[in-house]
Amino acid sequence: MPNQNLVIARSLFVFSLLYGGLCVLAGVMGTKIASLGHWPLLGDLAVESGIFAFLFLVIISSAVAELFGQGMANKLVRFGFVPLIVSMIMLTVVIKLVPPAPFWSDQAAFERLLGQGVRMQFAGLISYGTSQTLNVYLFSRLAGGQGKALMLRAWVASLLSQIVDTVLFITISFYGVVDQASGKLMPIEQIMEGQIISKLVLSTIMVPPGIWLFVRLGRWLDARKA
């Protein structure tokens, strides 16, 4: 028989579903490099499109930490590995083992866009787990048990966690890799610099108001009658 005493808050249920879906989307969207336009002093900025989904992961995990505590937010981050790993396995199986139909000519493009190598998949898992856990920790600890300065905590925690995410992912993915076009090692410092600046700009714009909105949304969902 189902456990009649098991109750989950409506906001936590909704946020968990959204979080799992965004974990998968972040990897799929990352195959497109998006332009952020020209910025004074910063120049032309570009970033992989997965950052838009990833910042929503930051927003949701921080909102869960604010509403339900650091422990629950850490559980959400750990459960996020499930859709990530399952999607990686399924994509690998579809690309490597399932043959394309004879009349379908887009196998190469499909594999190029969605077929991350083992090294990049490993880098994604490590950077995701580390940066998201760090974000939840900083966001919660900066509150000092008072729950104040919501948007400031969100901003500081997201900036630091995005730096860690970028350094880990690019280092693990490209350290020692030779660029086939130039025959030289990949310029990981240059790649990091552009990605970090772009992510810091987006974090500043999206995360503080996003967390404020999701906390308000969560409280509204939980206040509604079933």
The number of residues making up the chain comes to: 226
What local confidence, expressed as pLDDT, does residue 213 receive? 95
Q: Which of 17-21, 81-85, 148-152 has the weakest average pLDDT?
A: 148-152
The whole-chain average pLDDT of the chain stands at: 85
Q: What confidence category does residue 147 fall into, taking pLDDT thresholds of 50, 70 and 90?
A: low
Structure tokens at 36: 């952020």
Cα(114)–Cα(142) distance, integer angstroms = 38
Cα-based torsion angle of the residue sequence 198, 20, 113, 178 in order, rounded to the nearest 10 degrees: 60
The answer to whether residues 55 and 132 touch, using CB atoms and an 8 Å cutoff, is: no
Structure tokens at 132: 């998201």
* Mean pLDDT to the nearest integer, 42-65: 87
Per residue in 84-121, pLDDT (tens digit) is 899 888 888 888 888 989 898 888 888 877 776 667 78
> Is pLDDT at 212 greater than 90 in this prediction?
yes
What local confidence, expressed as pLDDT, does residue 219 receive? 94
Per residue in 61-80, pLDDT (tens digit) is 999 999 999 999 999 999 99
* Mean pLDDT to the nearest integer, 110-138: 85
CA angle at 107 for the pair 106 and 112, rounded to the nearest 5°: 100
Output the CA–CA distances (angstroms, integers) from residue 198 to 46, 130, 159, in the order listed: 6, 20, 11
4: left (phi over 0), alpha (psi -120 to 50) or beta: alpha
Distance from the first to the final alpha carbon of the chain:
22
Task: Write down the pTM of the prediction.
Answer: 0.86
Per residue in 168-184, pLDDT (tens digit) is 988 888 788 777 677 77
Cα(226)–Cα(222) distance, integer angstroms = 9
What secondary structure letter does DSSP report for 179? P
Handedness of CA 150, 153, 61, 31 (dihedral sign): positive
